[in-house]
Amino acid sequence: MAEFRALREGEWPEAMSLWTRVFGDCGWIFDALNDGSSDRSLEHTRVAIEDGKIVAAVDVFMRHQGGADGAPLKVGGIGSVATDDAYRGRGLSGQLLKDAIRVMEEEGCAWSMLFTGVPQHYARYGWVNIPMPRREATFIQDRTPAHSPFEVRRVGQHGVWPFDQMAPLYESFNTNRPMAHVRDSRYWDIAIRARIEHPERVTWACYLKGEMKAYAVAGVYEQHLWLHEACGDQEAMSALFDQIRDEMLGQGIERIEISVPNDTVINEALSPLTTGVKHTETGWAMGRPIAKGFTESDLMSILSAQGMQHYSLDDF
C-alpha cells in the first residue's frame, strides 16, 4: 500500500533520481525550477512511497500570470509527473494529482496549467486542452536592411547576462498581458538563465547609445529558428529582427517558428522580413479551473484575450 505525502527535508536527491530514470538526463531543469521559485515549499512536491522509496512524484510550481484583463492571477503549474516503470498502472500519479489539486485550492490558485503528450491521462482529473497559438513563416531573401542607429549583438557569452536590462524590458512589454508570467530577480537569475544557456539557444540584444532597447531569445536548429521571446519597442525590434534574419540566412536557415505575441509591435517589426505566414496551434497545453467561481469559460476568456502570450521560457 502506497503512502502519499509531501516531500521531506533531504529527499530531493531521491526525487531527482526518479525523474532522471523516467525522463533521462535533464536534471538541470528540475533544479532550476525548484531553486528559481521564490515561494517553493516541500508541500508543493507530492510523492508516493512504496517499498521504502519514492516511486512516483508530481510537482506544483506556483506562478502569477496575467488574467483576461491582464491583472495577475495565481496559477498552479503541474510538472515533473513521473512514476517508476515497475510501479505503473496502480493509480499513483492520479492520486498525486488529486493531492496537487488540494494544495492548489489551499494556496488560492485560480487555475492550473500543464504541458503533456498524454492529455487523456490528465483529462480524467479535470484538465482540458487549451490552444496555444504559434505562427510559421519564411524569411524574405532579397531585402536590403535600412541604415539604423542601433547596434545588435549576441549577449550571454561566458555566462554573463544583462538581466538587469532585460527584466525591465520584459516587464514593460508584458505588463497587463494575459497569460504572461510575473518574474522576480531570483527567477531570472536561476530559472530563465538555465533555459537560455541551453546549447541551441541564442540571445540577441539591440542597443542605442549603450542602452538596451530590445532583446530576443531563440532556438537555432538545423532547419529553422524558433523565436521564444522578444521584448522592446517596435523600432528597436525591427533592427533586432533584421540582424537575426541576416544571420539565419547566412547559415542557410530560412524558416522561422514564432512563439511571441501576435500584436502590433511585434507584427510591424517582423512582417517586413517574413512571408507565407501560417497560423497554427500547439496541442500540448492543458488547463483546469481550481478556485470556486473560476470556470472553464473564464479560462477560455484568458486564452482568447488580445495579445495573450505564454512564453515557452516559462514552461514547467
Q: Is 153 helix (H, G, I), strand (E, B) or coil?
A: strand
CATH of 135-156+197-281, one of 3.40.630.30, 3.30.9.10, 3.40.50.720, 3.90.870.10: 3.40.630.30
Angle between helices 27-35 and 12-23 (to 10 degrees): 140
Check residue 25 and give its pLDDT. Answer: 85
How do residues 29-55 score in pLDDT, each as one tens digit? 999 999 999 999 999 999 999 999 999
Instruction: Report pLDDT for 144.
Output: 72
Decide if 3-131+283-314 and 135-156+197-281 have a common fold.
yes
Q: Is the pLDDT of residue 83 over 70?
A: yes
The dihedral built from the CA positions of residue 188, 191, 197 and 203, taken in this order, carries a sign that is negative
Cα gap 228→74, rounded to integer Å: 23
% of the chain with per-residue pLDDT over 70: 99
Q: Is 111 exposed, middle or buried (0-12, 13-18, 19+ CB in 10 A)?
A: buried
Integer CA distances (angstroms), 163 to 75, 137, 143, 199, 210, in order = 24, 29, 32, 19, 15
Structure confidence at residue 145 (pLDDT): 67
Res. 67: pLDDT tops 70:
yes
- Rg for the chain, CA atoms, rounded: 21
Report pLDDT digits (tens) over 285-313.
999 999 999 999 999 999 999 999 999 99
Q: Where are the domains of the chain?
A: 3-131+283-314, 135-156+197-281
List phi, psi (to 5°) of 298.
-65, -40
Mean per-residue pLDDT, 94-117:
97
User: For residue 282, what pLDDT band results from cuts at 50, 70 and 90?
Assistant: confident
Q: Could you count the other beta carbons within 10 Å of the beta carbon of residue 110?
A: 21
Total number of residues shown for the chain: 316
What are all long-range contacts of 87-95, with beta carbons under 8 Å and residues at least 24 apart? Answer: 87/48, 87/50, 87/55, 87/56, 90/2, 92/2, 92/48, 92/50, 92/55, 92/56, 93/56, 93/58, 93/121, 94/124, 94/125, 95/2, 95/4, 95/48
Q: What is the pLDDT of residues 130-163, one digit of tens each?
A: 989 999 999 999 877 667 899 999 999 888 999 9
What is the reported pLDDT for 151?
A: 97
| Fold type of domain 3-131+283-314 | Aminopeptidase (3.40.630)
Grid cell, residue 284, equals 500540448
pTM tops 0.85, yes or no: yes
Residue 48, classed as helix, strand or coil, is strand
Q: CA-CA distance, 204 to 247, in Å (whole number)?
A: 11
Report the 10 Å Cβ neighbour count for 5. Answer: 14
